[in-house]
Amino acid sequence: MRRLFAIGLILIMFAPAVYAEDKQSEATMMVQSAREISDVRKPGNAPFRLEARLSLSENGATKTGEYLEIWVSPKQWRREITLPDYHFLEVKDPSDEKHSWVIESPGWINPRELLTLLRLTDLDTEEFKVKKVFQKQRDGLNLSCFEAKEGHGSQTTCFQADSKILQSVEGSYYGTKQHREYLDYSPFTGSNFPRLMRSQSKDTSIEISVTKLIPEPNYDAALLLPPPSAEHRPTCKKPAFPKEKFAPEPDYPKGGSGS
């Protein structure tokens, strides 16, 4: 009897840890499935061209522009954002895994927000602690979701339960909420890629509408050369919610812990 009691006590003590590990593993599998389904930039995939219309609104002002990406491999690509008063160009240096060539004009846009939307499979469960995994319905869709904490914020990530594709990411950082959603998925060379992506925060909204996603076997190699006057910068491999945008000002009151 005492032995059974001891075994029961041990199971009770370790149950929370096992359950937490199961949640983390389940969330990781959700992300991995979505990445496998939607990642058009897998090693070994054929070169492609992606063109999209951009619509950005901030504090009531709206601007429209274009996005262009020519992708050859994870080590060689060109990404370009063009707006009426802003230009961002990044060409990956295939000889240097950690750097790329960048030209950027001053402007109010944060290119990481756009690149985060377009690189939807860069979610990484290693950086957040999963609090719960659950099912819900939204707009007639059955969703599988997980809620997690990450640094100074939290986020809820949802996938369509049947197709496993990413549907939305909703986060809160430093008290500022942001919502991303992925719509109008369609097949492309063995993957399933969204043709409409949206991001919404308090004063800013972004919409990316894909107008062209086609194989580009005969790409122009000249477009992948270092642009004149470009700056050699570290390549940002894992874009995320732009947390630095919401960081407290230097004179923001500090808590008792000094943080």
Query: What's residue 259's pLDDT?
Result: 47
Average per-residue pLDDT for the chain: 83
Long-range contacts of 111-116 (CB under 8 A, 24+ apart): 111/81, 112/236, 112/239, 112/240, 112/242, 113/199, 113/204, 113/206, 113/242, 114/54, 114/67, 114/81, 114/206, 114/208, 115/79, 115/236, 115/239, 116/180, 116/199, 116/239, 116/240, 116/241, 116/242
Q: What is the pLDDT of residues 186-227, one digit of tens each?
A: 999 999 999 999 999 888 899 999 999 999 999 999 999 999
Percentage of the chain lying above the pLDDT 90 cut:
54
Range scoring the smallest mean pLDDT among 108-122, 133-147, 157-171: 108-122
**pLDDT tens digits along 10-21:** 445 444 444 457
- Structure confidence at residue 88 (pLDDT): 93
Structure tokens at 107: 């402007």
* pLDDT for the residue 13: 47
Q: For residues 69-82, give the mean pLDDT.
A: 95
Instruction: Kindly report the backbone phi and psi dihedral angles of residue 28, in degrees, each rounded to the nearest multiple of 5, phi listed first.
Output: -60, -40
Q: 42-241 has which CATH code?
A: 2.50.20.10
Give residue-wise pLDDT tens across range 29-61: 999 999 999 999 989 999 999 999 999 988 888
pLDDT computed for residue 235 by the predictor = 79
